[in-house]
Chains A and B, each alone.
Chain A
């Protein structure tokens, strides 16, 4: 049955429906090939030696004994990797990527790679690691933000002076950079406030927790060409980084993205791929390298931990008069935490006359942080949404009404600068207010919290092609790995555009040699950007098919229209010929000029920002401090849900990850600077029995910049949970919770008045 768009009245046949996912059968039958699933003849197994120290000078690395071990084919140290030209398309500083992939001079965190071995078996490689003699000079370390910015902190990079300071600092520090956004006069705004909330909030680092560890197979051939198979969110990114670190031409390196067992932002950079490739180059054999879970925790990138001071003022009428936040994010041992995004997201939900956010990028002796769903937004939202909740209580206004009164809408000057175009925050708040959940009763020891959240959504360089087969089916090729169901969405958009059944379209993710450049799957950009590219490629193919029909009919090309999967003569020729189906045109392709295809390579813009509002009910056990989330609802503007089941899945996944982060997940460092809980037994992620069924409501305020109105949905659902659950717990306990995770000991302390 066709679906009628409620807003535009457009009738869609496939967009907005819920077809069976194309990758489902392979995944549930174990046939899908993930990063570690590929084998090659003569393949070696690699292992990485990691620093046991949080901060240490590497005085020497002696690999003689390891190299002499039977079965060892190559040993790698920093000397084998050197930054050449390239990598300019990547967001990371390549010098930092290089140093993170293999320590140079200093080990900067527990788990920092120091050397690597490729051998006939994994056990031989492990034994060889023990034969590598590394001489360290252990240095004082710091893993905590507040200690790292103290005047007596051990300095991690002697040459790092805080950037964007006036005057420029005279001494090095662990603060890489300062940034500030905002407008208006916050002091004047606070003068007008009847109520002011001011408090410090803290959040610990959380790992993305993808179920599949980083894994790759690299094969450097004797002719200087190479291939990498790996699980990644961006195989073009992997190609650029590896080519830069190994001094290769881009065209000589072909990277294929495997199926991926989760990424959530954590697979938007390289950790092991350059190591495997360099080992393969050294010994001339294919090399497989797979991280174990301990390595994933210790040496891949979690989200930053944060310290946030927030101050918000409001008048008796419930209007926010000023908002101020100062945020410190640690990005691990290298500059580049997502402080800009955190500061920009802080107040993005609200229409504020006076607003300022100051961000500080801090380095500590921890692994280099990586993106994690809406990077920076959840921590900022925790502080700001907690403040709003407290103010609503004191003003005596419903927390949703308070947000509605101050909500950003079309034309609002965002705290980070530009005016918003059409956005759907108010619609999510109104839906929350009207929901069954919000109007239900709470039980004993339960509290309810509400919070809103924001994400920009990205566009970026994108390519897609589509080929029409002789039998009238079509294959779409994209360059963005499918981490959230994008292949099904591409098929739906292609089917809708071409006018053929969903089942007749297949979508594959092509390797880097088979399709022009595509940026990484990140920032909620894929259904938007690759979706646009797919639609434009399909339109391109339709143009070819119209010209073939014109040729067959002997009429001008511009006298042919395309509708419902058929070429139709139009204008003066209308009705002269029977419409010709896509299958009929495809069948004659070889007689009318050759294969039929369409393609699109472009810079996807016109993104539509996304907002969501969450409602959380939490129940505490006052004797143990245990918290159970008893009900949870996600309401978010998707623009247009191409495949509503996938959209709901994104909402639910973001909420569950947020629940874990809010209640249990944290990086725990010992006095020695070593990570104490590098495994799922001690790093407590929620499982199904820990969470209720997450209720969802899709709001659709279409993004007019996308052919079908898509905004992108993957990031925003993790922005509100910390705030929503913090507010729920604060109401259940009767005290404001200000530290994430709100684990049982912290809840118990709050219950007991601590």
Chain B
């Protein structure tokens, strides 16, 4: 199980909890499970999110590996500059 932290305004789907736990071996699997278990998050995931794994932000999350003790943050997708 990995612990996933969400940015504040995404936490409404968790009744205010800061994080949740689920099984995922990579970022893609993480997003698929999040969308399936928390349908309210799916529109945001489809719109685009970034996933931070151990402090490295992946703006195009895909098959980046996740360990059980990885620090995972879901962030709004970043653009521009």
Binding site for B on A (CB under 8 A): 91, 164, 166, 178-183, 265, 268, 338, 340-341, 344, 356, 370-375, 416-421, 455-456, 458-461, 522-524, 603, 605-607, 705, 714-715
Contact = CB atoms under 8 A, between A and B. Distances in A.
Nearest to A377: B81
A163 to B, nearest CB: 9
Contacts of B52: 417-418
B2 interface: no
B75 A417 contact: yes
Interface in B52-69: 52, 54-60, 62, 64
Contacts of A606: 56
Contact of B73 (A268, A418, A603, A605): A418
Nearest to B5: A417
Contacts of B76: 179, 340, 344
Contacts of B62: 603
5 contacts: A164-B9, A340-B77, A416-B7, A417-B7, A714-B81
Contact of B8 (A180, A418, A458, A522): A180
7 smallest beta-carbon distances between A and B, as pairs: A371-B80, A340-B76, A180-B8, A417-B73, A91-B79, A418-B52, A180-B9
Q: Is the interface of B mostly helix, strand, loop or mixed?
A: loop
A374 B7 contact: no
Contacts of A181: 7-9
A603 B61 CA distance: 9
Given A164-B9, A180-B9, A523-B81, A603 B75 contact: no
Contacts of A372: 80-81
Contact of B81 (A179, A374, A605): A374
B64 A371 contact: no
A356 B8 contact: yes
Q: Which of B5, B56, B79, B80 has the most CB of A within 10 A?
A: B80
Contacts of B56: 421, 605-607, 705
B78 interface: yes
Contacts of A373: 81
Nearest to A418: B52
A371 B81 contact: yes
B57 A607 contact: yes
Contacts of B77: 91, 340
Given A183-B18, A603-B60, A341 B55 contact: no
Contact of A715 (B59, B60, B81): B81
Given A371-B79, A418-B55, 13 more contacts: A91-B77, A178-B9, A181-B8, A181-B9, A268-B81, A341-B78, A372-B81, A375-B80, A375-B81, A417-B7, A417-B75, A418-B57, A522-B81
Nearest to A712: B81
A431 B80 CA distance: 29
Contacts of A455: 81
B12 interface: yes
Contacts of B75: 344, 416-418
Q: Which of A375, A418, A459 has the most CB of B within 10 A?
A: A418
B6 to A, nearest CB: 9
Contacts of A714: 81
Contacts of A419: 54-55, 71
B48 interface: yes
Contacts of A605: 56, 58, 64
Given A164-B9, A181-B8, A605-B64, A456 B57 contact: yes
Contacts of A371: 79-81
A181 B7 CA distance: 5
Contacts of A459: 58-59
A458 B78 contact: yes
Nearest to A183: B18
B18 A341 contact: no
Contacts of B12: 164, 166
Contacts of B18: 183
Nearest to A375: B80
A520 to B, nearest CB: 9
A91 B76 CA distance: 12
A180 B8 CA distance: 5
B57 A179 contact: no
A375 B18 CA distance: 27
B78 A523 contact: yes
Contact of A458 (B5, B55, B59, B73): B59
A370 B7 CA distance: 24
A370 to B, nearest CB: 7
Nearest to B73: A417
A421 B81 contact: no
A43 to B, nearest CB: 33
Contacts of B79: 91, 268, 338, 341, 371, 375, 522-523
A340 B78 CA distance: 8
A524 B64 CA distance: 22
A714 B81 CA distance: 8
Q: Which of A338, A416, A524, A705 has the most CB of B within 10 A?
A: A416
B13 to A, nearest CB: 10
A373 B56 CA distance: 21
A685 to B, nearest CB: 19
B57 to A, nearest CB: 6
A370 B59 contact: no
A370 B60 contact: no
B49 to A, nearest CB: 10
Contacts of A164: 9, 12
Interface string B15-53: 000100000000000000000000000000000100010
A241 to B, nearest CB: 14
Contacts of A374: 81
Contacts of B58: 459, 603, 605
Given A421-B55, A421-B56, A458 B81 contact: yes
Q: Which of B54, B59, B60, B62 has the most CB of A within 10 A?
A: B59
A732 B79 CA distance: 37
A166 B12 CA distance: 8
A338 B77 CA distance: 10
B78 A460 contact: no
Given A371-B81, A375-B81, A714-B81, A420 B9 contact: no
Contacts of A607: 56-57
A371 B80 CA distance: 5
A338 B57 CA distance: 17
Q: Which of A164, A417, A522 has the most CB of B within 10 A?
A: A417
B59 A460 contact: yes
Given A456-B57, A605-B56, A607-B57, A418 B81 contact: no
Contacts of B78: 340-341, 456, 458, 523
Contacts of A420: 55
A265 B79 CA distance: 10
Nearest to A233: B81
A607 B58 CA distance: 9
B80 A341 contact: yes
Contact of A179 (B5, B7, B54): B7
B55 A522 contact: no
A25 to B, nearest CB: 29
B77 to A, nearest CB: 7
Contacts of B48: 91
A455 B76 CA distance: 15
Contacts of A166: 12
